[in-house]
Amino acid sequence: AQTVTQSQPEMSVQEAETVTLSCTYDTSESNYYLFWYKQPPSRQMILVIRQEAYKQQNATENRFSVNFQKAAKSFSLKISDSQLGDTAMYFCAFTYQGAQKLVFGQGTRLTINP
Amino acid sequence: KAGVTQTPRYLIKTRGQQVTLSCSPISGHRSVSWYQQTPGQGLQFLFEYFSETQRNKGNFPGRFSGRQFSNSRSEMNVSTLELGDSALYLCASSPGGPFSGNTIYFGEGSWLTVV
C-alpha cells in the first residue's frame, strides 16, 4: 500500500522566517510524482510544487523548495521568507504510474504570525 | 480560462436521502477525479474518470457512484446518505490524469452536511 505521512500536525512561525514541513512516503513503485498542495481557508487546493521521482535535482518555485531524499523516501518543503498569505493547511501528496489518483498525507496546519 | 467549477457549493440533506454533485472541469481537460475530505479521515480518493471511462475507484461503498459525460463534466451521486457522509467533496481536473505529469487543478469543493 502507498502511504504518505506528515508528522507535524501544526506549525507556527513569525513572518519572514524560514519553515520546513516534513513528509515521508512509502512505496515500492519506481516511477512516481510527489506534490505539495496548499489549502487556505477558502478550502481550494492549490499546487505549490511538484517533483518527479526520476529527477535528482530538487524542485524550486520562487520561495518554495523541496528536499527530496529518494532513498530515505523523504520529501520536505521549505518556505523561505514566509508571508502572512502562506497561512494554510499544507498537504503532501503522491501518485504513481497507473494509479490515476493522488494519495495525501494528513496535512500540516501552518500559521504565519505577524 | 475558467477554473474547475463545482455545484452546489453548500447543501444540507437528511439521512436516507440521495445527493448529486456536479463538476465542470477546465476546458480541454479530460480527466476528472473526486475526493472526500473529512477531519477524521483526511483526503480520500473516490474515483477518476477519463473520456467517460472510470479508470480507478477508491475504497468506498457502492452508495458512492459517479459518471462523466462526453463534454468531460462529471457528477457524483451518494445514495442513502449517512451522517458520516458529511464532508467536503473536492473535484479535480487535468488534461491527462494524475500521473500524466500535468498540473492537477482543484475546485472549491461542495460542502455536504447530512442531518
For position A56, what pLDDT does the model report? 86
Query: What CA–CA distance (Å, rounded) separates A65 from A94?
Result: 17
For position A63, what pLDDT does the model report? 97
Q: What is the pLDDT of residues B52-96, one digit of tens each?
A: 999 999 999 999 999 999 999 999 999 999 999 999 999 999 887
Nearest to A33, CA basis, from A100, A105, A95, A101: A95
Contact yes or no for A101 and B106 at CB 8 A: no
For position A81, what pLDDT does the model report? 98
For position A42, what pLDDT does the model report? 87
| Residue numbers in A near B23 (CB within 8 A) | none
Residue of chain B whose Cα is closest to the Cα of A43:
B108
Three-state DSSP class for residue A85: helix
Please, which pLDDT band fits residue B101 given cuts at 50, 70 and 90?
A: low
Please, which pLDDT band fits residue B98 given cuts at 50, 70 and 90?
A: low
On whether any CB of chain B is under 8 Å from the CB of A97, the answer is yes
Q: Is the pLDDT of residue A2 over 90?
A: no
Domain around A48: 3-113
Query: What CA–CA distance (Å, rounded) separates B15 from A1?
Result: 33
Alpha carbon distances (Å) from B26 to B22, B66, B73: 13, 18, 9
A98 Rama sector, left if φ>0, alpha if ψ -120 to 50, beta otherwise: left
Task: Show which residues on chain B lie within 8 Å of chain A, measured between beta carbons.
Answer: 31, 33, 35, 42-43, 45, 48, 50, 55-56, 58, 88, 90, 92, 97-99, 101, 103-109
DSSP string spanning B10-47? Answer: EEEE-TT--EEEEEEPPTT--EEEEEEEETTTEEEEEE
- Averaged pLDDT, A36-56: 92
| Residue numbers in A near B98 (CB within 8 A) | 33, 95, 99-102
Are B73 and B23 in contact by the 8 Å Cβ rule? The answer is yes
- Average pLDDT of chain A? 94
Number of domains chain A is built from: 1
State the CATH number of the domain containing residue A78.
Answer: 2.60.40.10
For position A1, what pLDDT does the model report? 76
Distance from CA of A45 to the nearest CA of B (A): 6
Q: Is the pLDDT of residue B34 over 70?
A: yes
Sign of CA dihedral B23, B75, A91, A30: negative
For position B87, what pLDDT does the model report? 98
On whether any CB of chain B is under 8 Å from the CB of A41, the answer is no
Query: What CA–CA distance (Å, rounded) separates B73 from B44?
Result: 21
